[in-house]
Structure 1
Amino acid sequence: MNDMEFLNRYFDEYKKLMFEPNVYSSLSEFKELAISVRNNGKKLIFSGNGASAAISAHGAVDFTKQGGVRGITFNEADLITCFANDYGYDHWVEKAVQMYGDEGDVLVLISVSGTSPSVVNAAKYAKNNGMKVVTFTGKKVNNDLKLLGDINFWVNSSAYNIVECIHMSWITTVIDMVIGKSEYSVS
């Protein structure tokens, strides 16, 4: 297969996964939830591991800066290592949500597999403590994290690069929906 054939197949599959019509209602629901968070003086709390942590940080900043919806994340090395050391890696996100979250906040969790114990445990905590949970996952359709979400975004792929890029696109789409346009100055 030559490069052009590869790219045509690759991006056709990517487009099919990213623009499934069934995701449109979830995008709208997340937008309305984000506006409610802003209007009620609450916050979006983003978390994930690895590349999902980077996507979380980007989402938290853009929701805050562009969308006027306060967003936070737990990507500080000292917080991660301290909480992981004291509470175990499987519980560090849960403890961070417990200490930094408030009732009415929304927890946005990103995990390609949807099985990472640190985010699954955080979702369980949030559900039991008055927080809505928004999930971004891939791989298996009925993964542990997705089963805990109030709004779920799922990519039917096991390819980390595809799933992560689609997650990022969906998050920035919701930010643009909150703003009401897709072209704007960021300064």
Structure 2
Amino acid sequence: MSKVDHTWLGDYFNKYKGLMFDEQVYGKLLEFHKLCLSVRERGGKLMFAGNGASASISSHGAVDFTKQGRVRAVDFNEPNLITCFSNDFGYENWIAKAVEFYSDPEDVLVLISVSGKSPNAVKAAEYARSKGIPVVAFTGSGGDNPLRGMAEIDFWVDSRAYNIVECIHMGWLMAVVDMLVGQAEYPVN
């Protein structure tokens, strides 16, 4: 095990600085913000999904986009829904089936997957695209991951460090929420 000290921490947090705060992502954040405003104006909703920690990020995102950003949002993290749809349609199809049952034409699908290769997320993106539902993807790992290539707006973190990628995904999502609010500091009640 390597020595963990101030230098290690400095190197660790410099990875965040270089990846999260890259000005090249600003355009995509602005584009996602504009898409969210459009969804809100036409009465649509954001549908969030992911696996593991990405499911937790999806839940947090759905709540904050709804409550703070005033863009209706749902996530597909109900255990009953996941186990029912996985049992009946296969685990690789459960998110696509959730999109099939819950989507409306004015909605947007937001998929979060560090690998960008999760079969259930990829199949959900394929289904959404076949129905004309825009896909926003938050991925990491290899830049050639399939989910990234299916998204109208693609947020990619050039890292294979799961914790770093997941934290950056959360930061970018919350930045868009704050853009919808119009400020970074505000009452939450």
The TM-score with structure 2 as length reference comes to 0.98
Say whether residues 1:118 and 2:141 are aligned partners: no
1:15-51 CA-partner distances (Å, limit 9, x unpaired): 1010111100000000000010000000000000000
Q: How does 1:108-187 map to 2 (within 5 A)?
A: 108-187=110-189
Identity of matched residues, %: 58
Q: CA deviation at 1:104?
A: 2.0
Q: How does 1:47-62 map to 2 (within 5 A)?
A: 47-62=49-64
Contact 1:60 1:72 in 2 (8 A): yes
Mapped to 2, the partners of 1:65 and 1:104 lie a distance apart of 19
Q: CA deviation at 1:2?
A: 4.8
When the two structures are aligned, how many residues end up with a matched partner? 187
Q: Secondary structure at the match of 2:146?
A: coil
* AA in 2 matched with 1:69: V
Q: 1:67: which partner in 2?
A: 69
Gaps of 5+ in 2: none
Contact 1:132 1:150 in 2 (8 A): yes
Contact 2:43 2:106 in 1 (8 A): no
Mapped to 2, the partners of 1:142 and 1:43 lie a distance apart of 28
Contact 1:47 1:53 in 2 (8 A): yes
Contact 1:80 1:92 in 2 (8 A): yes
Mapped to 1, the partners of 2:8 and 2:136 lie a distance apart of 34
Say whether residues 1:103 and 2:100 are aligned partners: no
Q: How does 1:35-54 map to 2 (within 5 A)?
A: 35-54=37-56
Mapped to 1, the partners of 2:106 and 2:68 lie a distance apart of 22
Q: CA deviation at 1:14?
A: 1.1
* AA in 2 matched with 1:33: L
